[in-house]
Structure 1
Amino acid sequence: MKKIVTLGEILLRLSVDHNVRLFQADQLKMHYGGAEANVAVSLSNFGHDVYFVSKVPENPLGTAVERQLKSHDVHTDYLVKGGGRLGSYYLETGVGQRNSQVTYDRKYSSFSMLKTDEIDFDEVFAGAELFHVSGITPALSQNLKELTLLALKKAKEKGVLTSFDFNYRAKLWSQQEAADTFKTLLPYVDICSCGELDAVYILGIDLADHSLSKEDKLKYYYSKIVELYPNIRNICSTFRTIISASTNTLQGNYFTDGELYQSEIFQIDHIVDRVGGGDAFAAGILHGIVENMPSNELITFATAASVLKHTVYGDSNEFSVSEISAFANNGPGKIIR
């Protein structure tokens, strides 16, 4: 098993029932999740030795988080205890043409107050093969901007492969704040997850020629990113078409060595829960990279992992490598006997 480390905040998710607005709700369903935690759970389900670095309060919610991670065989050795509260968010699920809405309640959370001297990254990265973090983490506080940069630098010093998912959230910070921060982090990144809007509005890359195909535009943006940051070896994203809140199409994109590889276009009908779909995709990409999958096989696996995530409730993906591979090879709707 390969040691993989993720750094981020795990949140209490409070969801309303379908067809109910948040302000109407008189009961909420509890789950735990967060971008890097979701990636950790997926990679653990894929058979890797995964460690989650975070901070949670020393109260029953912090205990619940630790139990949740351990139930998925994610190691909590580097889970710091302290601070006043667990960050949370409220999810109002979209229906038909109405989009889902997220309301954050995470300011001054235990994780947002985490300081650089509370984590021994020499110990954390000992024997590690891969480190993953997302742009959500540095968006939460000045402390975490410094911590994210330190973590990436330390990982590179230790020869650890680094992964960074832009995961831009407009409710957490501005595009300019994200741009200023990401440009300090990207020189230490090997694997990057970002889309064409990130390239234009965060990295400031000129718009592609409008006459180009969608695929050639993406290849143009990714080539420009590699010109700016030649240390970046792999870039990935998805093309999503939203037909309604319950029906989307999804296609995966993977750029490496100057070539763009794409999955087939999957149609996802009757979406159960879209939250965490991007994290499932990221985990599939990372699994494929550390397992040296051929690029075409890798992008098919990662996209299939994301598609399957849409069929289960909660933030994290609950499928194994064999289940995802069987789905990718056999397609939907069949009975597995």
Structure 2
Amino acid sequence: MPDAVTIGETLLRLTAPPGFGLEQTEILRLEVAGAESNVAIGLSRLGISSGWISRLVNNPLGRRIANKIREHGVDVSRVIWTSEGRVGLYYLELGQSPRPYQVIYDRAGSAFSQIDPDEVDWDYVRQAKLIHLTGITPALSPSCHRLVCRAIEEARSAGLKVSFDVNYRSKLWSLEEARRAIQPLLQAVDVLFCTTQEAMQILEVHGASEVMLREIARRHPGATIVLTLEEGGALLWHEGQIYIQPGYPLEPIDRVGAGDALVAGFLAGFLQGDPLQGLAYGVAYAALKHTFIGDIVWCSRSDLEQFLRNQHAHWR
């Protein structure tokens, strides 16, 4: 059975080539992309067994998603298959300063948004060590909100660790809606990920990054917290101590999925009993993600460790 299980929706991502706008391009690259499956793939590529649970339409598009995730060693045996609904899409225009990235969602009525929590194989989930969830899922529908609540309840009753990435998406719901839904969920979380912007917007904490981190820790005693910084790098709160991992100089090709890469890298260390190694892994894995088109980091654990050794030698 996998050490980590993730639950969430994965979309087909249609991306204009670099340098082309969506209005301009005649070609769209097809990728598989979803926050929870990105984390499952990242964990698997780093040597941590993982499973991904979702609800997909049993047609070529749904099978494309499941097959691509399975390709990276993720267990997709508990995907719920249906003949109803549709596969969600999103269109991406890769921005380059001063032109911003642009995302257009086309996911309403997706098969996953209609999931019934009773459809999930909770016995499978309860045998893992950790479940990873995100704030995207409860934004998709009332049943998806119930799914996240049920997942946390099942994890707590079985003694699993609960990992949660705030992952606020303004195109899916308002700040008020997100605050009302997410803040109560975080009371039962063991590992919490958020950006400094999400800390201000959703958790309503302010000040310097270390001040925000201490306030989040005060509200969630016992939780391990990873606060990612706008300038790169991250802060870690673990067992009453703050640890800092600076970021790396970047020449980004595609930044989408970097937050998921950080989560995967951190959890890879955390699940092996070393949160500090997880912090180093997470920040490095996120940096490497910027160098690949698509949401996936095409690096193994040995690639990641070689990168870290090279960086250490460079700065020594």
Match of residue 290 from structure 1: 271
Aligned to 1:194: 194
Using the TM superposition, give the Cα deviation of residue 110 of structure 1 relative to its aligned residue in structure 2, in angstroms: 0.6
Query: Deviations 1:165-223 (Å, cap 9, x if unpaired)?
Result: 00001000011111111122112210000133323322233x33xxxxxxxx2222222
Kindly state the Cα deviation for residue 294 of structure 1 after the two structures are TM-superposed.
5.5
Aligned counterpart in structure 1 of residue 235 of structure 2, from 249, 253, 276:
253
The one-letter amino acid of 1:111's match is: F
Structure 1 segment 265-284 matched on structure 2, within 5 A: 265-269=247-251, 271-284=252-265
Count residues in correspondence: 313
Maintained 8 Å contact 2:254/2:290: yes
Looking at structure 2, the residues matched to 196 and 27 of structure 1 have their Cα atoms a distance apart, in angstroms, of 35
| Percent identity of equivalent pairs | 35
What aligned pairs does 1:210-225 form with structure 2 within 5 A after superposition?
217-225=208-216
Question: CA 1:328/1:112 → structure 2, altered by over 3 Å: closer, same or farther?
Answer: same
Alignment TM-score, normalising by the size of structure 1: 0.89
In structure 2, give the amino acid aligned to 1:314: G
Residue 324 of structure 1 aligns to a residue whose secondary structure is helix
Shift of the 237–228 alpha-carbon distance from structure 1 to 2, 3 Å rule, reads closer
Please give the alpha-carbon distance, in whole angstroms, between the structure 2 residues aligned to 1:313 and 1:230: 38
- Check conservation: 1:219, 1:255, Cα contact below 8 A: no
Task: Judge conservation of contact 1:36–1:132 (CA < 8 Å) in 2.
Answer: yes
1: CA distance, partners of 2:50 / 2:266: 15
Gaps of 5+ in 1: 209-216, 242-249
Q: Is the 8 A contact 1:125 1:158 kept in 2?
A: no
Distance 1:33 1:140 in 2: 16
SS across alignment from 1:302: helix
- How do 1:57-72 and structure 2 match up within 5 A? 57-72=57-72
2 CA distance for matches of 1:63 and 1:27? 22
Q: How does 1:146-225 map to 2 (within 5 A)?
A: 146-205=146-205, 207-208=206-207, 217-225=208-216
Confirm or deny: 8 A CA contact 2:42 2:296 kept in the other structure: yes
Name 1:86's counterpart in structure 2. Answer: 87
Q: Which moved more, 1:164-173 or 1:320-329?
A: 320-329
Partner SS state of residue 283, structure 1: helix
Question: Aligned Cα RMSD in Å?
Answer: 1.8
Matching residue of 1:245: none
CA separation in 1, counterparts of 2:2 and 2:302?
Answer: 18
Amino acid at match of 1:76: V
**TM-score, length-normalised on structure 2?**
0.94
Which aligned pairs between 1:89-108 and structure 2 lie closer than 5 A? 89-108=90-109
Aligned letter for 1:105? D
Aligned equivalents of 2:281, 2:10: Cα separation in 1? 25
Counterpart of 2:303?
Answer: 323
Secondary structure at 1:240's aligned position in 2? coil
Deviates more, 1:171-180 or 1:94-103: 94-103
Q: 1:294 to 1:192 in 2, by over 3 A?
A: closer
Given the alignment, which residue of 217, 226, 232 partners 1:236?
Answer: 226
SS class of match (2:126): coil
C-alpha displacement at 1:24, in angstroms?
Answer: 1.8
Q: Which runs of 5+ in 2 are unaligned?
A: none
Q: Deviations over 1:39-89 (max 9, x none)?
A: 000001111221101011111011111111111111111101112210110
**What is the rounded CA distance, in whole Å, between the counterparts of 2:110 and 2:246 in structure 1?**
41
SS in 1 for 2:262: helix
TM-superposition CA deviations, 1:212-254 (whole Å, max 9, x none): xxxxx222222222222224x211132233xxxxxxxx21221
| Paired residue type of 1:223 | R
The separation in 1 between residues aligned to 2:80 and 2:126, in whole angstroms, is: 18
Structure 1 residue runs of 4 or more that deviate by more than 3 Å after TM superposition: none
The letter for the 1-side match of 2:225 is I
Report the secondary structure of 1:125's partner residue: helix
> Could you say what secondary structure the match of 1:266 adopts?
coil
Question: Are 1:300 and 2:269 an aligned pair?
Answer: no
Residues 2 and 81 from structure 1, CA distance in 2 versus in 1: closer, same or farther, beyond 3 angstroms?
closer
Is the partner of 1:132 in helix, strand or coil?
strand
SS in 1 for 2:14: strand
Decide whether the 8 Å contact of 1:164 with 1:192 is kept in 2. Answer: yes
On the 8 A contact 2:131/2:160 being kept in 1, the answer is: yes
Map Cα deviations across residues 140-173 of structure 1 (whole Å, 9 max, x no partner). Answer: 1111011101101111110001100000010000
Residue identity in the other structure for 2:57: P
Q: 1:291 to 1:187 in 2, by over 3 A?
A: same
Native 8 Å contact 2:2 2:51 kept in 1: no
